Amino acid sequence: MVEPQLHRVTLPNGLRVVLAPNAPGGPPVVGLSVHYDVGFRSEPEGRTGFAHLFEHLMFQGSESLEKLAHFRHVQGSGGIFNGSTHQDYTDYFQVLPSNALERGLFLEADRMRAPKLTEENLRNQVDVVKEEIRLNVLNRPYGGFPWILLPPVLYSTFANAHNGYGDFTDLERATVDDCAAFFDTFYAPGNAVLTLTGDFDVDQATELVHKHFGDVPGRSVTERPSFGEPFPAQQLHDHHPDPHAPLPAVALGYRLPDPVHELDGYLANVVLASVLSDGDSSRLQQRMVHRDSLVVDIQAGCGLMGAPLDARDPDTFTVTAIHTPEAGSERVIGAVDEELDRLASEGPDADELARVTARWSAGLHREHDRLVSRTLDLGSAELIHGRAELISELPGRVDGITTQDVAAAAKALRPDARAVLELEPASETNTAGGTA
């Protein structure tokens, strides 16, 4: 994949724009995303789930468009669209035929200007979000494991520890005034990044951006607070019953280096995670699945939302295992600790490291061949790191990670500074309740 040349524009209202056109001759498709600098961690206490709820409200009509009009205009153009809420940002994206670029820009600008915040829309979307939580968390085995259940064990502040999906009581208490205040605070143009990728002319696209976003009123943007907190000074432990889980599970959570200011240290942990669990030849897969038969699933990774470099500091290294009752959590944790100790003292060998870094880089290139992924990653890198160029630099930086870097990362994942969450399955939960 040939990396596109990046162009930047900042509008008078503060909107930052990143343009990444394809080389001539590519497919006639454009990607468009808007990243707002607000996520789960920015929610006020008593309003858990509010960032995600507001994402839903942004699809319920806007200043010039009735409810469902956004859907019809995108799908009627042959395009796709969606949005998602993360720890530190909320994104909205569209992929459209290139001749529909102006339509996509109008749609995003119109709801940035004024989404339709009504009592009817709010109550409807509260019900939709509650049903989503029932489906994805409450009535699904391992539904909140580990991204909802592990943070309150590892972290101590509300911003980092609370349930970003939301408590039903908090969701039901939300008012239209709360929504208006949230919009005014976080959805200002100066708190957003607009990203365009694909088949377009830079000068024409820039003119269209000014045409549609230039008159969105600028508002003051409150400086984002730091959500940093001290590292744990001991091992933290908790249990969680899951009446739907067929087998017990355990999650280990560790603090990571700051992904913005300690990027190379963070990337060493990304490589470490791949050495531990990426593929059948990985350390934990070989030992715990194939050799000792302790687990039916084992995963290690950076980032609570399933992908590295998706958040600012603090971020989380997780190891999760679904194991047999006979194995027990102590044996599982002990095996993980032994493999981390081995890597801390020896590091991966040269062939192992080369294989892992090559696979990671190839996966990143493959992912960025998809226009939607490239668009979203450029936007989030610009928002979080201030440098959309980072996504094209990552393969080279990962290739530079050494055996000693991985060993140092493994050594930093200490048992006396981590969280351990044990999930109790249906049979144990039922027995404890006397209803087995």
For residue 219, tell me if it sits in a domain.
no
Whole-number pLDDT of residue 2: 55
In the sheet with 16-21, reading across from the earlier edge strand, the strands are 7-10, 16-21, 192-198, 29-36, 90-97, 80-85
Better pLDDT: 24 or 82: 82
Q: 87-112: string of b/e by CB count within 10 Å (b at 16+)?
A: bbbbbbbbbbbbebbbbbbbbbbbbb
Which of 65-69, 114-118, 227-231, 405-409 has the weakest average pLDDT? 65-69
Q: Mapping DSSP to helix (H, G, I), strand (E, B) and coil, where does residue 239 land?
A: strand
Q: Are residues 187 and 259 in the same domain?
A: no
| 248 shares a domain with 347 | yes
Looking at residue 25, its pLDDT comes to: 80
User: Does a structural domain hold residue 379?
Assistant: yes
Same domain, 306 and 404: yes
Backbone angles phi, psi at 253, to 5 degrees: -125, 130
Please state the separation of Cα 166 from the chain's center in Å: 16
Residue 318 and residue 187 share a domain:
no
**Higher pLDDT among residues 63 and 56, named by residue:** 56
| DSSP assignment of 27-58 | -SEEEEEEEES--GGGPPTT-TTHHHHHHHHT
Percent of the chain with pLDDT over 90: 92
Confidence category of residue 306, pLDDT binned at 50, 70, 90 = confident
Q: What is the pLDDT of residue 434?
A: 38
Average pLDDT over residues 282-289: 96
C-alpha 77/C-alpha 75 separation (Å) is 5
Residue bearing the bigger pLDDT, 428 or 392: 392
Would 196 be classed as within a structural domain? yes
125 in the same domain as 206: yes
Mean pLDDT of 212-241: 95
What distance in Å separates the CA atoms of residue 211 and residue 101, rounded to the nearest whole number? 13
240, part of any domain = yes
410/268 same-domain check: yes
Q: Are 102 and 209 a contacting pair, CB within 8 Å?
A: no
Distance, in Å, from the CA atom of 175 to the CA atom of 304, rounded to the nearest integer, reads 29
Which SS3 state, helix, strand or coil, does residue 417 take? helix
Shared-domain flag, residues 199 and 324: no
* pLDDT of res. 3: 66
**Residue range 98-110: average pLDDT?**
97
Q: How confident is the model at residue 63 (pLDDT cuts 50, 70, 90)?
A: confident
Average pLDDT over residues 385-406: 96
Is 0.85 topped by the overall pTM? yes
- What's residue 432's pLDDT? 44
Both tokens assigned to 149: 């259940």
Query: Is residue 231 in a domain?
Result: no
Answer yes or no: do 335 and 422 share one domain.
yes
Q: Are residues 209 and 242 in the same domain?
A: no
**The tokens of 183 are what?**
């919009």
* Residue 122: pLDDT over 70: yes
Residue 293 has a CB neighbour count (10 Å cut-off) of 12
Specify the 3-state DSSP secondary structure of 76. helix
Angle at 315 between CA 311 and CA 317, to 5 degrees: 125
Burial of 119 (0-12, 13-18, 19+ CB in 10 A): exposed
- The CATH number covering residue 281 comes to 3.30.830.10
Same domain, 275 and 384: yes
Report pLDDT digits (tens) over 15-51: 999 999 998 888 999 999 999 999 999 999 999 999 9
In the chain, the number of structural domains is 2
**Average confidence score pLDDT of the chain:** 94
Has residue 244 got a pLDDT over 90? yes
Residue 193 phi, psi (nearest 5): -125, 125
Over range 270-296, report the average pLDDT: 96
Does the N-terminal peptide bond of residue 314 adopt cis geometry, omega within 30 degrees of 0?
Answer: yes
CA distance 216 to 187: 11
Q: Are residues 313 and 360 in the same domain?
A: yes
**103: in domain:** yes
> For residue 125, is it within any domain?
yes
**Please, which pLDDT band fits residue 435 given cuts at 50, 70 and 90?**
very low
Q: Is 115 a member of any domain?
A: yes
Q: Which domain covers residue 265, as residue numbers?
A: 236-433
Three-class SS state of 245: coil
Q: Rounded CA gap, 5 and 196, in Å?
A: 12
Judge whether residue 436 has pLDDT over 80. Answer: no
Question: What integer pLDDT is reported at residue 28 of this predicted model?
Answer: 96
**Same domain? 146 vs 257:** no
Question: Region 227-245: what's the mean pLDDT?
Answer: 96
CA-CA distance, 192 to 15, in Å (whole number)? 6
Q: How far apart are the two ends of the chain, measured CA to CA in Å?
A: 56
Specify the pLDDT at position 430: 52
